[in-house]
Amino acid sequence: MLWRKAWVETRWRALIGLGILLCAAGAMVLVYPQVMRLVPSVPPDDGSTITRQIREAAALMRDYRGYVFAQWFRQSLPQLWTIMAALLGSGGLLTQGTALFTLSLPVSREQLSRVRAIVGLGELLALAIVPTLLVPLLSPAVGESYPLGDALLHALCVFVAGTVFFSVAFLLSTAFADVWRPLLLTLAVAVALVSVEQLLRTRAVHGIFGVMSGDSYFRTGRLPWLGLSASALVSLVLLWIGTVSIARRDF
Amino acid sequence: MVRPSGGSARVFELPADVPASSVEIRRRTGFVSEDKDLIDYMTVAEIVRFTSAFYPRWRRDLEQTYLRRFELPPDRKVKLLSRGTRTKLALLLALCRGAELLVLDEPTSGLDPAMIEGVLQALVAHAAGEGTTVFFSSHQIAEVDQIADRVAIIERGRTLVAGALDDLRERYRRVQLVFDGAAPAAPFRAPGVVRVRRQGRVLTVLSSDGAERVLDEARALAPVATDVAPMSLKDIFLETVAAEE
């Protein structure tokens, strides 16, 4: 019953997020022909940063696999999924007017936290995989194909690395009695990390968004095991701290 | 729900502040909060089904009885219930758990007199029929006086009075002594004297240990009249709190 309760309390956020991601994935595939028509009109290299970035992106999209990587796994999916991770990590006991009722039930606070975390992570896994599966399914519609295995591996990179953002929101939700502050603070953390990565130009190798996109897998065929392990470890630690925080709190 | 700032408590011989035993205590306890916290997005039927899943000894027979008696609409969402109906639903969820102990925080707050009577009757019948211990807090002295077997009066975290209600009614006495002139400022050394009040010619002594020894001591003051009166729970409450202050 706790599992069902956790699902009911988050299902609309998850389902709406799924709808948005499915639309984004479908649109990304279906506009491919139009985008390819624009690639030849990339401006010549004039030494400016913006032109260089445009040319790099265009070079990346020289084939369909590169296009999917650039548009979906490096851009749309991590961005939208991170917002959903922050949204699904927010909430919890403090935001519910039902805290005393729930706490009066014969379940430990650790169990309540565990159920909430697992349900949230399960929803995020679905949000990473299901829209991504649309890519190989829909690709024939534009005369292309995309390997199912690649799609799944990239989706798993998004999920494993991105759980950090869910865990940040989860931890913050044990400190704030509203949904908005954990959500906005988590997004602020994400924006800060992106900014740092861009400043240091570490995105492709070490940055969390580089790991989420599976950049190294795209370029070399090797999964970013170190980044994935580090992200998973950080997530577990944050979830554990959040669980302990709830266990020690007075209501 | 809160950690103790001091002291200790045991429920069912289990320490109340240890997480592991806390789960077992809650399995055998029903709780109704002052604000009647419930899950608003569920319907009455859904929250009954949800709650019953946690209690292996859930009483289906009592569930049907109280659904009928309290006239709870099964398909209505909890957030749409009136305050009185919400209170009755909260009570149903507590009473049907097969709990050995019910902890109720202001169970009748915000209810009209008819509903209050109904709730009190249900509590008394349940306690008598099921052998359940009911522990409730209330600021409504009349209600406590009506149904409680044992009471405790707590002021600023300290217990001022505790005991069986009948015993308290037997032991507490208000002794009024009337004098010709101004009442003397005499200290009373008799055990159980809670408070002494002088007002003009009248000396009023509140005793928690009967009136005999107070009267023995009062004879030496030669009052022209004495009156010994029993005290209601409300009187005991007001006098002990006033004496504390």
The pLDDT of B188-215, averaged and rounded, is 88
pLDDT band at A201 (very low <50, low <70, confident <90, very high): low
Helices A148-172 and A109-138, axial angle in degrees (round to 10): 150
Beta bridge partners of B77: B43
Instruction: Return the number of CB contacts < 8 Å for A and B.
Output: 52
Q: What is the ipTM of this complex?
A: 0.81
Helix (H) / strand (E) element for B173: namely strand B173-178
Q: Which structural domain range is residue A207 located in?
A: 2-248
Q: Report percent pLDDT > 70 for chain A.
A: 96
- Indicate the residue of B24, B38, B53 with minimum beta-carbon distance to A101: B38
At residue A221, φ and ψ (nearest 5 deg) are 80, 5
A52-86: pLDDT as tens digits? 777 777 777 888 999 999 999 999 999 999 999 99
Lowest mean pLDDT among A144-158, A213-227, B8-22, B40-54: B8-22
pLDDT at B14: 92
B131: left (phi over 0), alpha (psi -120 to 50) or beta: left
State the smallest CA–CA distance between residue A118 and chain B in angstroms.
Answer: 20
Give the dihedral of Cα atoms A191, A192, A197, A198; nearest 10 deg: 70
More confident residue, A214 or A46: A214
pLDDT tens, B146-179? 889 999 998 888 888 899 999 999 999 999 999 9
Residues of B with CB under 8 A from a CB of A: 1-3, 19, 22-24, 26-27, 29, 31, 33, 35, 37-41, 50-51, 53-55
For residue B97, the distance in angstroms to the closest alpha carbon of chain A comes to 10
Containing A130, the helix (H) or strand (E) segment is helix A109-138
Q: How far does the CA of residue B30 sit from the closest CA of chain A (Å)?
A: 8
Whether residues B54 and A247 touch (CB distance < 8 A) is answered with no
Average pLDDT over residues A233-245: 95
Count of structural domains within chain A: 1
- Please give the share of chain B, as a percent, with pLDDT higher than 90: 48
Query: Tell me, what's the pLDDT at A197?
Result: 82
Kindly list the residues from chain A whose CB atom is less than 8 angstroms away from the CB atom of residue B18: none
